[in-house]
């Protein structure tokens, strides 16, 4: 199906928006009137620019408060419409959106609405223009799609049809099944938007919180199925606006939007794409640092052994159990600090995974390791983290470890780390929903519910994604600080241990520095849970945090000091605990600031 | 009355919060449990720190989900309560907030709730602690203050009373008059918060949008009158949290909060303060620049004459009609660009105005002009603009112009500017509501409704303040750009003219550069309004923008090019138009970016 997007979705000038839409790979565009009015380009220039970019103008929008009004008002409205149709002819747009009337002047009279829309359609037809009538969820008398269709049917004019908008339909709780009763050729246009489920005035909800399909709580795919069954074959067009997009980079927003459309089409079975190849684990976490000494010291204290060195680049491999950490000193400067630069994902089929990434618009990165001819496909996540599709010592597939040369270092005493439990990635506010959609559609991970709470310096939001079975777990955190753009929050790597008490004692014995937790935390813990004798005292002594879920699963965890922009966590899961100790995050954040 | 604030209102560590509260001038504090739990200070250390800062701990909060539960749950809750009371004893807090139960375990049984609260109060009494029971607006069975009072009355325990919270009462639409039926000594605590009127789930509304009294849409003063009539004599305590405060500087937020309390007390007649001295006009706008040549050139083209020079500092006075612009080259560097640094307000009584400012916590600035002994009192607005209380050539009062020495410059041909119409000040997002409260309470200006619309780069918010009669008009704009912190938006000075067409022709004749408005704007204007023959063409030719209000009042305006961070506007008001052409702001913003 053809894919389109409204210019109102994007930030910037009309020229910037059109360029972003074309670069992302859309077929067409809805021109939002305000964007045209504010543009120094004439309608003819916009027409040429759009065509040069390979885009069609699928809709001009909106016309407001046209129908169901007293005759003298309607006469003025028709005059207004004629001027718009003249402009649309210059622009080369052949479909106009007419929103149901919201003005106090509007009359509750369907016959009048139908008669006036018929006259409007008559005029439009003279210009070769079609009128698509849409029920706004907050329309004065017409606020549901079936009501709008009833009026369009009554008008019975070939140049008059209906525009469906998933937000207006689903926010009202209307049953979209009735869409199948509308003849497909009378559905002139389809606008798609999602939104988080909120109990809020629908106008505010629509203006500030719309998001791309798959980023909210509506069943947009279910609605699309009904529209396809009805026989609609026009474009799928995104019409999303929210306070975040208005400030975000237009190019990124456009790619994010197109990715959401591709995933939507795939989910309703109209677009065959290479299937996601879900990673089965984490092959490694890679730190980039210009100052390797403190990193080596901390990894050593954590019980990791420096096992191998890359043959071609200054990268060391540290190991403990199935946990592997690469330390790369070839890309970072001392000034940029230590960062979590890349994640190796254990992939059942790296080449197929790369094809999926490409189909889902993931930016492909240049292959950076080619010693011994081990190809490593890699892509960039929205936050810039490099994701590499790896095979580790599996038959049939070349292993990335073949590029590494074993070192003769004596094994360190292990602390009990068995694997990488999860990776926590801090996201810039503008890209949080984009990142969730990316990891879901590109990697095939499943997002869990969003967790939100107030931390001492701002609202903290967190959302985990994990493989349906075993596999990597990613935790996306959003934590705006006092200087929203300036302060970058640290990322972290969480290691699984079987017995955190033993592990911490070993680490402290080896000189590893752990985050200090305030005594008040343990006093409070005591008011919330009952513990076996001595257990709380052990936690207090060692700085171990504790959480318990509703099924009685338990979580014990602690943190190392922060190196640059990275720190480590040790986690012990007991009794099927599946969370990440989110309730303790404010304690951790406050302790890290002290 | 004593003034208090909850630590949850402020950003930062507990220590930072307590310091900010004390410095602002509060008498006491509510300690929010999470702040204590995350603090490295022990309860005893917090007690000492608070006392050293001259603050009392007026409330410890919250205890949740205590009452109206099955007996075995309540037994656990009592055990939990005992530990909290022990902690409160260490902290030296003698009142605890208990919120009405929101848990699914809670039973709809007032007698059980009363019986269990009585047992809780019995235990509290042993520790010398009072229990203040509050109805949360989203409580499971108890969500209104009269219901909570009914349970407290039924319990009939001296250590059990009620906590009233203006948000919980007014957000539910409860009539606060019934508060007068509660004996004053049974009202143990009063929490005050306001909120903008929104149709939204009350829990979300409360968590994200609370604001200080006078910054929202609730009649907090009306509620306070009822509470005072009931005989309450405890502290007035602010309990406000929103997403903005969580990221703002604690010190500023605390001062903003205390200012709102002072204004609230004044409005209900319990705090006599020096009355506001409402300015009667704008004496001057002062630009600071390190590069005066382009400023002089533009002012000259606008028809201003360089009339005088300050005797002591490098400041020139430019005049046209009653509009005066000072150009100060003594404070700015070339790199900082040209800014609107100060506003001279024509004050009926500068000394009394300064006393009002001090009473309302306005930061007083050092007097900076003392040549000829003309004292000029000045304060800093929240955005850093200096406000000076001036008298211009009035008998009895020394005139600030006495410090200026007339120059012999030949008068320029005037363009028709008669006065300064308004000043538009861009506000950082964190301080928008603070700025409105400041100008309202310190200067006595009246805020008008907030205007909000989407500009091409973000959500644009604007709010005007003006004197009840004639006097200065300020327009506060909030316009977050793509780099929210980085990009500072320009301020502007709007000059009134009687005939903008003549003025613009003169200015263009004198080489003044005006902002170019896209042709599409005029094509669109034509679809919206009817104009007399030739009028629209004149606007199009000269770059004049147009607006019309519902009463038929008209507004014609245009803008100069921007110099550094300042530009000028010319405005012509016809037929009682009172707005600021907000609908044209997106056009202006887009044109300024081209």
Cα separation, A45 vs A56, whole angstroms: 14
Tokens of A222: 């279910």
Residue scoring higher pLDDT (B227 or B426)? B227
Which residue among A208, A483, A523 sits closest to B87, beta carbon to beta carbon? A523
Strands (E), B456-565: 458-466, 473-478, 491-497, 545-548, 554-559
With a pLDDT cut of 70, the percent of chain B lying above it is: 96
Give the pLDDT mean for A10-21: 95
Mean pLDDT on A129-145: 97
Res. B124: pLDDT tops 80: yes
- Distance between CA atoms of A484 and A489, rounded to whole angstroms? 10
User: Mean per-residue pLDDT for A498-509?
Assistant: 97
Looking at residue A479, its pLDDT comes to 64
Task: List the structure tokens of A17.
Answer: 């928006």
**A528 to chain B: which residues are within 8 Å by CB?**
80
More confident residue, B445 or A207: B445
CA distance B259 to A484: 27
- Pairwise pLDDT comparison (A197 vs B181), residue with the higher score: B181
Is there a contact between B226 and B258 (Cβ–Cβ < 8 Å)? no
Q: Which residues pair with B558 in a beta bridge?
A: B570
Per-residue confidence (pLDDT) for residue B315, from 0 to 100: 95
Any bridge partners for residue A447, and if so which? A465
Closest approach of chain A CAs to the CA of B54, in angstroms? 23
- pLDDT score of A198: 81
> Does A209 score more than 90 pLDDT?
no
Residue that the structure tokens 């309703």 belong to: A268
**pLDDT the model gives residue B411:** 85
- What is the pLDDT averaged over residues B190-212? 87
ipTM metric: 0.86
Q: Which pLDDT tens digit goes with each residue over A218-229?
A: 999 999 999 999
Q: What's the pLDDT at A370?
A: 53
pLDDT digits (tens, 9 = 90+) for B499-523: 999 999 999 999 999 999 999 999 9
Distance of CA A434 to CAs A122, A359, A547, Å? 43, 16, 30
Is the pLDDT assigned to residue B485 strictly greater than 50?
A: no
Rounded Cα distance between B148 and B135, Å, is 6
Confidence band (pLDDT; 50, 70, 90) for B480?
A: low
Contact call for residues B264 and B257 (beta carbons, < 8 A) = no
DSSP conformation class of A410? P
Residue pair B538/B503 in contact by the 8 Å Cβ criterion: no
3-state DSSP call for residue A328?
strand
Who wins on pLDDT, B32 or B373? B32
Residue pair B155/B115 in contact by the 8 Å Cβ criterion: yes
Q: What is the mean pLDDT of chain A?
A: 93
Closest CA to A53 of A14, A106, A87: A14
In terms of CA atoms, which chain B residue is nearest residue A246?
B458
| Inter-chain CB proximity B13 and A594 less than 8 Å | yes
In this structure, what are the phi and psi dihedrals at residue B89, rounded to the nearest 5 degrees? Answer: -65, -45
pLDDT at A330 over 80: yes
- In angstroms, the Cα distances linking B248 to A372, A480, B583 are 54, 11, 30
The yes-or-no verdict on residue A458 having pLDDT over 80 is no
Judged by CB atoms closer than 8 Å, whether chains meet at A459 and B34 is answered as: no
Name the token pair of B94: 């003698």
Adjacency order of strands within the sheet including B386-390: B364-365, B377-380, B386-390, B339-346, B281-288, B323-328, B315-320, B305-310, B404-406
B338 — phi, psi (to 5°)? -90, 130
Residues in CB range of A385: below 8 A, 6 or more apart: A340, A341, A342, A343, A425, A491
Q: Is A283 helix (H, G, I), strand (E, B) or coil?
A: strand
Instruction: Measure the CA–CA gap between B512 and B296, rounded to whole angstroms.
Output: 11
Instruction: Report the C-alpha gap between A400 and A392 in whole angstroms.
Output: 6
The whole-angstrom separation of Cα B82 and Cα B88 is 10
Kindly report, residue by residue over A34-51, the tens digit of the pLDDT.
999 999 999 999 999 999
Q: Which residues pair with A475 in a beta bridge?
A: A424, A464
Q: Do B201 and A201 touch (CB under 8 A)?
A: no
Which pLDDT score, from 0 to 100, does residue B484 have?
Answer: 40
Percentage of chain A beyond pLDDT 70 is 96
Of A34, A38, A204, the CB nearest to B198: A204
Measured between beta carbons, which residues in chain A are less than 8 angstroms from residue B199?
200-201, 204
The radius of gyration computed from the CA coordinates of chain B, to the nearest angstrom, equals 28
Q: How far apart are CA B491 and CA B473, in angstroms?
A: 14
Q: Please, what is the end-to-end C-alpha distance for chain B in angstroms?
A: 55
State which residue of chain A sits closest to B38, comparing Cα positions.
A587
Q: Do A43 and B520 count as a contact with CB atoms less than 8 A apart? A: yes
Q: Which among A34, A62, A57 is positioned nearest to A45, based on CA atoms?
A: A57
- pLDDT category at B374 given cuts 50, 70, 90 is low
Cβ contacts of B456 on chain A, cutoff 8 Å: 11-13, 35, 38
Tokens in use for A313?
Answer: 């680049």
Q: Reply yes or no on whether the pLDDT at B368 is more than 80.
A: no
Contact B574, B567 (CB under 8 A): no
Candidates A571, A575, A576; CA nearest to A588 is A571
Q: Is the pLDDT of residue A336 over 80?
A: no
In chain A, residues with a C-beta closer than 8 Å to the C-beta of B484 are: 247, 484-485
Lowest mean pLDDT across A101-115, A147-161, A367-381: A367-381
Is the CB of residue A92 less than 8 Å from the CB of residue A31?
A: no
Best to test chain A binding among B456, B585, B587, B588 (most A CBs inside 10 Å): B456
Are residues B518 and A38, on separate chains, in Cβ contact within 8 Å? yes
Span A380-390, average pLDDT:
93
- Measured between CA atoms, the residue of chain A closest to residue B487 is A485
Q: Find the angle CA(B463)-CA(B465)-CA(B466) to the nearest 5 degrees.
A: 150
| Least confident stretch, A15-19, A258-262, A391-395 | A391-395
Residue B78: closest C-alpha in chain A: A527
Lowest-pLDDT range, A185-199, A368-382, B8-22? A368-382
Q: How sure is the predictor about B327, in pLDDT bands with cuts at 50, 70 and 90?
A: very high
CA distance linking residue B381 with residue A155, whole number of Å: 59
Angle between helices B14-24 and B250-267 (to 10 degrees): 40
Q: Nearest CB to B34: which of A199, A528, A586?
A: A586
> Which of B13, B35, B519 is nearest residue A593 as measured by Cβ atoms?
B13
What is the reported pLDDT for A197? 87
| For range A483-494, the mean pLDDT | 66
Nearest to B323 by CA among B543, B571, B149, B112: B571
Find the CB nearest B37 among A87, A204, A520: A520
Better-scored residue on pLDDT, B63 or A247: B63
Contact B338, B291 (CB under 8 A): yes
Does B35 have pLDDT greater than 90? yes
- Whether A411 shows a pLDDT value over 90: the answer reads no
Q: In angstroms, rounded to a whole number, what is the distance separating the alpha carbons of residues B367 and B325? A: 20
Structure tokens at B205: 């509304």
Question: Which residue matches tokens 């919060």?
Answer: B17
Query: Which three-class secondary structure state does DSSP give residue A378?
Result: strand
Q: What torsion do the CA atoms of A329, A332, A335, A337 make, to the nearest 10 degrees?
A: -80
User: Is the Cβ–Cβ distance between B25 and B259 less than 8 Å?
Assistant: no
Residues of chain A contacting residue B454, judged by C-beta atoms under 8 Å apart? 8, 34, 207, 241, 246
Could you tell me which chain B residue has the CA closest to the CA of A480?
B247
pLDDT level of residue B482 (50, 70, 90 thresholds):
very low
Report the alpha-carbon distance of residue A518 to residue B14 in Å, rounded.
12
User: Nearest CA to B299 among B550, B13, B60, B495?
Assistant: B495
Mean pLDDT score, B531-537:
96
Residues whose CB falls within 8 Å of the CB of residue A461, separated by 6 or more in sequence, listed in order: A432, A450, A451, A452, A477, A478, A479
What would the mean pLDDT of A45-58 be, rounded to a whole number?
98
Q: Which of B83, B201, B521 sits opposite A37 (nearest CB)?
A: B521
Residue B246 to residue A458, Cβ atoms within 8 A: yes
Look at residue A133 in the predicted model and tell me its pLDDT: 98
Q: State mean pLDDT over A535-557.
A: 97
Q: Which of A157, A152, A218 is nearest to A191 (CA)?
A: A218
Is the pLDDT at B412 greater than 50, yes or no? yes
Nearest chain A Cα to B517, which residue? A40
Say if residues A514 and A540 touch (Cβ distance below 8 Å). Answer: no
What's the pLDDT at A52?
98
Average pLDDT over residues A508-526: 95
- Put simply, the answer to whether A42 touches B520 (Cβ < 8 Å) is yes
Chain centre distance of CA A165 = 21
């Amino acid at each position: 199906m053809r894919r389109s997007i409204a210019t109102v979705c994007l930030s910037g000038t009309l020229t910037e928006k059109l360029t972003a839409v074309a670069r992302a790979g859309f077929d067409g565009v809805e021109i939002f009137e305000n964007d045209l009015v504010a543009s120094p380009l004439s309608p003819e220039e916009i027409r040429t620019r759009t065509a040069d970019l390979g885009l069609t103008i699928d809709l001009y929008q909106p016309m407001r408060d046209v129908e169901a009004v007293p005759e003298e008002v309607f006469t003025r409205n028709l005059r207004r419409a004629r001027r718009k149709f003249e402009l649309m002819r210059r622009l080369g747009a052949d479909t106009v959106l007419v929103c149901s009337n919201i003005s106090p002047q509007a009359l509750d009279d369907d016959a009048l609405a139908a008669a006036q829309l018929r006259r409007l359609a008559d005029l439009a037809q003279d210009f070769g223009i079609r009128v698509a009538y849409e029920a706004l969820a907050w329309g004065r008398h017409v606020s549901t799609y079936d009501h709008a269709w009833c009026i369009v049917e009554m008008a019975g004019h070939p140049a008059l049809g209906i525009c469906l908008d998933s937000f207006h339909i689903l926010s009202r709780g209307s049953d979209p099944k009735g869409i199948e009763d509308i003849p497909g050729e009378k559905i002139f246009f389809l606008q798609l938007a999602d939104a988080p489920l909120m109990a809020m005035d629908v106008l505010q909800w629509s203006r500030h919180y719309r998001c791309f399909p798959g980023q909210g709580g509506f069943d947009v795919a279910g609605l699309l199925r009904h529209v396809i069954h009805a026989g609609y074959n026009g474009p799928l067009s995104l019409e999303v606006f929210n306070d975040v997009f208005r400030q975000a980079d237009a190019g990124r927003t456009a790619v994010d939007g197109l990715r959401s459309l591709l995933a939507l089409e795939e989910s309703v079975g109209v677009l065959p794409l290479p299937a996601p190849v879900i990673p089965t684990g984490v092959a490694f976490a890679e730190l980039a640092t210009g100052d390797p000494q403190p990193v080596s010291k901390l990894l050593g204290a954590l019980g990791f052994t420096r096992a191998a060195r890359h043959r071609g680049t200054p990268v060391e491999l540290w190991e403990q159990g199935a946990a592997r950490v690469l330390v790369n000193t070839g890309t970072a400067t001392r000034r940029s600090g230590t960062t979590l630069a890349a994640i190796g994902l254990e992939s059942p089929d790296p080449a197929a995974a790369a094809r999926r990434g490409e189909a889902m618009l993931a930016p492909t990165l240049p292959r950076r390791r080619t010693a011994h001819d081990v190809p490593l496909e890699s892509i960039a996540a929205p936050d810039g983290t490099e994701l590499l599709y790896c095979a580790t010592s599996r038959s049939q597939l070349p292993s990335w470890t073949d590029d590494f040369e074993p070192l003769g270092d004596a094994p360190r005493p292990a602390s009990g780390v068995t694997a990488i439990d999860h990776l926590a990635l801090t996201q810039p506010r503008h890209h949080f929903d984009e990142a969730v959609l990316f990891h879901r559609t590109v990697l095939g991970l499943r997002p869990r519910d969003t967790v939100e709470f107030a931390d001492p310096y701002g609202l903290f939001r967190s959302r985990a994604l994990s493989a349906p079975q075993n596999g990597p777990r990613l935790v996306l955190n959003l934590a705006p600080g006092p200087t929203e753009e300036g302060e970058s929050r640290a990322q972290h790597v969480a290691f699984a241990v079987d017995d955190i008490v033993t592990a911490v004692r070993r680490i402290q014995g080896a000189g590893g520095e752990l985050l200090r937790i305030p005594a008040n935390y343990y006093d409070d813990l005591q008011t919330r849970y009952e513990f076996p004798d001595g257990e709380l005292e052990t936690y207090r002594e060692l700085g171990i945090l504790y959480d318990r879920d509703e099924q009685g699963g338990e979580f014990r965890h602690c943190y190392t000091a922060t190196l640059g922009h990275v720190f480590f966590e040790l986690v012990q899961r007991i009794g099927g605990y599946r969370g990440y100790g989110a309730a303790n995050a404010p304690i951790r954040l406050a302790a890290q600031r002290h």
